[in-house]
Chains A and B, each alone.
Chain A
């Protein structure tokens, strides 16, 4: 982040413990952040994000599509169903492509609008939001929570805490179950879950993912963003002075100070900030936005919502804390179209159109040729030279096809075959050993390139041609 805000980093530094142990004082004891509940337009937007994203996560797993689970990553059979499309490991290229697009989109959004991802869509935020909601329902407001945590353990406190953790853990396990449900058909998984005859790996991943959800959303929370998240650390490289950030208008707010309602701030020599510290209380990462832009800020806009409410009550103009840019704050025009955003737009468009086109043109047919390695070639009793290949015909289509096989590249090349057409059921890999013969007189080199072509009898477009080597003796001229 830019230099002006650098000293602000201090504010978020947890106070080190001056414990009697002495030796561990270089490490800070974790201080729980109790974010105060907030209402407002951005809180509503986040709730919308949470509802839609969690709805998709928990819901899509149950959808069916043409007789199979709509989204199913079937690892044992190496087939990946995404609605109408079935991908094979050979298509992993598209997945890498998709990840590149996803990463670029993240950079693009960050350059334009800052940490929208962190504030509204990141799983860490989304699940933490739900966990906070459960916590508030059971433990009450921020003040009640702080008070309870300070108090001694009583049966009542124990009951509240136990209920909270029970609900958290149940919800986490359901999250883990849903996650596994994208890899094992979830309807079958539900049945085995009820009868408790899950496989060892299914059990492991349900508990592992459940534990991660419980730990990250229940206990780690902002620690994940501050200490563990790589994106939080490198997003500053995508920021510039035209990037949308959440900032406190220092000029308008300072000098801050409390006042009676109805006091004229100008007469009292005060700015608009009433120093109510609500912006600090609502902050999920426990920082003070008034200290300037900080890497701990996840851009959730809770401070905007709460400050606007206060400004309304005071009868001041909203937006003391607001979405703005460094340039706008300094009174300079904010550029949306700047080299990096233009580049991102062009790149993203090209990659997205390219991916859609590539998937549209994808041929559900693969041909792999494996040359026999036990001998270079052999001679038939008729004096011909013969090479042996194993063809793997991968029919990635859902229906069966009958394929014809041809070979070309040398004069008089002859394919030894049993059947004219090879039938391969849908979604199967067919292994076909074939021998190819030629009169050694036509061989000009020891290694010759030949071509195998398979093509579906019912669809000319379904044609694949692959090259192979044909080895043989070069006859003396």
Chain B
């Protein structure tokens, strides 16, 4: 008997369960044998037992059950014995068939892959730009999207703070079909460092003012000027001198109206002071190349009609 990895630390509970299970089956066997015997003082078969209800109008008879009924009872015991021999059930005994739910899961996944894999593989060879005109491919893509993406990006793909809008044409890592597919397959990790320690309170305020001015919003002119100097020193390396971002790093364009974490002055200030950590998980092992291809097609189609 093996002590398997998820069982208790001692053999006691395993033995306890084995004793209880086997004991119960034996007790059932004994009970049915015992109760099949006639007892002294019992009514003859076919006679009234003397129990009566409803002012004596309802009487109980000692009518024998059919013999096959008894066989059914023994049959359940034989079934139990065979089952406990073949499958895990007796404590930590793994069963003759070594059946595990993990194996079963793996087998079913494999069967599903074999059955449905060709459906997805059919589209794998077509370039995304071409596939985006295929209604069926988009339908499959949409269903995949609802299953795997909508929880974060929203059913309408317009995102929520921290999870990008996929319809607005603003791409952190580039909107080319291959870039989208790479984001899905390998994930992305976008890090904005926290600047409060370097810039201090006033510096953060000034950079905030400058960032607001980049997208054409009103800001204190003095602060904007001071902020511009800080920007050139600390921010331009990633966001670019013209602040249009860098898709190689995932640094957002600061001159448009798309704001991953929100565009109000307070939120922008928070992004600068405390930094941000964006993470898109990788789906290569989970979804595979073919499904990701269809997903990328659907997402590409959202902003390229």
Contact = CB atoms under 8 A, between A and B. Distances in A.
Interface of A: 2-3, 6, 9-10, 13-17, 22-30, 223, 227, 370, 372, 374-375, 378-379, 381, 386, 388-390, 416, 431, 433-435
A14 B61 CA distance: 12
B154 A26 contact: no
A26 B35 CA distance: 8
A433 B67 contact: no
Contacts of A2: 57
A433 B46 CA distance: 71
Contacts of A23: 33, 36-37
12 contacts: A3-B57, A22-B37, A25-B36, A25-B45, A26-B37, A28-B45, A372-B155, A375-B160, A375-B161, A433-B150, A433-B155, A435-B156
Contacts of A27: 36, 64-67, 69-70
Interface of B: 33, 35-38, 45-46, 57-59, 61, 63-70, 142-143, 146, 150-152, 154-161, 257-259, 262-263
Nearest to B305: A418
Given A3-B57, A6-B57, A23-B37, 17 more contacts: A2-B57, A13-B45, A15-B46, A16-B64, A26-B36, A30-B68, A223-B66, A227-B66, A372-B154, A372-B155, A375-B160, A378-B158, A381-B257, A381-B263, A388-B158, A390-B150, A433-B146
A63 B191 CA distance: 66
A29 B36 contact: no
Contact of B67 (A24, A386, A390, A435): A24
If over half of A's interface residues share one DSSP class (helix, strand or loop), that class is named, otherwise mixed; here it is mixed
Contacts of B59: 6
A374 B160 contact: yes
A17 B259 CA distance: 88
Contacts of B35: 26
A227 B70 CA distance: 13
B142 A431 contact: yes
A6 B157 CA distance: 74
A247 to B, nearest CB: 19
Contacts of B70: 24, 27
A6 B58 contact: yes
A433 B65 contact: no
B154 A375 contact: yes
A379 B257 CA distance: 13
Interface-centre pick from B146, B160, B161, B263 (highest chain A CB count, 10 A): B160
B106 to A, nearest CB: 19
Contacts of A15: 45-46
A3 B66 CA distance: 25
Contact of B63 (A3, A9, A25): A9
